[in-house]
Amino acid sequence: MTEASEKKSGPQVGETVVHAVPGDTPVDLEAAFRDSQVQEVLDKLDRELVGLKPVKTRIREIASLLLVDRLRRQLGLTTETPTLHMSFTGNPGTGKTTVALRMAEILHRLGYVRQGHLVAVTRDDLVGQYIGHTAPKTKEVLKRAMGGVLFIDEAYYLYRPENERDYGQEAIEILLQIMENNRDDLVVILAGYKDKMDRFFLSNPGMRSRIAHHLDFPDYSGEELMAIASLMLAQIQYRFSPEAEKAFGDYIRRRMVMPHFANARSIRNALDRARLRQANRLFAHARDRLTKNDLMNLEPEDIVASRVFSDGVPDEQEPGAGAK
Ligand SMILES: Nc1ncnc2c1ncn2[C@@H]1O[C@H](COP(=O)(O)OP(=O)(O)OP(=O)(O)O)[C@@H](O)[C@H]1O
Ligand SMILES: [Mg+2]
């Protein structure tokens, strides 16, 4: 190990280093957990994100590891900074970016990173067009991300084997070095489709070996998508009328099997369009006698006016879906 295996630098919240503590000294894991206020973030994660059970479990495991690590350090036991670089794989709209944001917050609360911000980038932010441009670009991004999480979306595009003089390789090499040497102050999350990521790791074993956690984000089921829709509406104080809820269930079943379906993202887009139709409906028919309920309720006609019902196609090419 390099210097990364040394003790973390800088003061840790609530840390008191006690040397030569007897082995039967009691330590309060519960109190450490409370102090970290991580439960809050974990609860929020449970409340605000539907499904994703394996992902949530892994996040809890990582939180436990970091807490135990902190207690060990308080008692003067050797602690080797755990590697926390991760890969998040899954189809569009399965929650990768959202979970990465929460992860940054958790890592910050547990004192693993100083700031807990997330810097989200793609190949174009790291790789230059001309010789000599890539290193400064990559280093600038790393500087911004230091103390937080660097989220590289569609990370596999950094590697273009078909192009012999591709500058992506240069960015990868700089990343590898920083991921090893600065792993106590920067967590890198590589995100993208699973099959492409697997291929990327096969050609870049150095990268693979630095990733400690591979989290897979499965597609949501119809029921989960419905729950996500209700949650999204509740957050903005809208709701389905009972009939509209049925219509939206039908919408989901049809939309799921069409091209460019992007899981929760498609649901959000569909709800935005339903709100637009609701507004038009209210404006056209009931301007002078509206109630609070009218303003909150989505009705079946706000749903079934979609082209998904009339033409059997998505309403529009949804950004972020397909095309990749
Ligand atoms: N499990 C979930 N529960 C509730 N909302 C969710 C869930 N997963 C995703 N969302 C919502 O769906 C939208 C898309 O999620 P997000 O951007 O995290 O997906 P992504 O996997 O990063 O997609 P992409 O690959 O297209 O970048 C966001 O508005 C997010 O809040
Ligand atoms: Mg994303």
CA of 68 to the centre of ligand 2 (A): 31
CB atoms within 10 A of CB 111: 20
Catalogue the E-assigned strands of 92-205. Answer: 118-121, 149-153, 187-192
Ligand nearest to the CA of 321: 1
pLDDT for the residue numbered 7? 42
CB distance 228 to ligand 1 below 6 Å? yes
Taking the CA atoms of 81, 106, 95 and 218 in sequence, report the sign of the dihedral they define. positive
**Using the 8-state DSSP alphabet, how is residue 10 labeled?**
S
For the chain, the maximum distance between any two Cα atoms, rounded to a whole number of angstroms, is: 78
* Rounded-to-integer distance, Cα 289 and Cα 282, Å: 10
CB distance 95 to ligand 1 below 6 Å? yes
Ligand nearest to the CA of 320: 1
What burial class does residue 70 get, using C-beta atoms within 10 Å of its C-beta: 0-12 exposed, 13-18 middle, 19+ buried?
A: buried
pLDDT in tens, 124-172: 999 999 999 999 999 999 999 999 999 999 999 999 988 878 899 999 9
- In the three-class reduction of DSSP (H, G, I as helix; E, B as strand; rest coil), residue 216 is classed as strand
CA of 46 to the centre of ligand 2 (A): 19
Catalogue the E-assigned strands of 99-221. Answer: 118-121, 149-153, 187-192, 213-217
Q: What is the pTM of this model?
A: 0.86
pLDDT in tens, 17-70: 555 677 777 777 788 777 778 888 888 889 999 999 999 999 999 998 888 888
CA of 281 to the centre of ligand 1 (A): 29
Asked if residue 297 has pLDDT above 90, the reply is: yes
**Using the 8-state DSSP alphabet, how is residue 249 labeled?**
H
Neighbours of ion ligand 2 (CB under 5 A): 97
CB distance 93 to ligand 1 below 6 Å? yes
Which residue is closest in CA terms to ligand 1's atom 16? Answer: 95
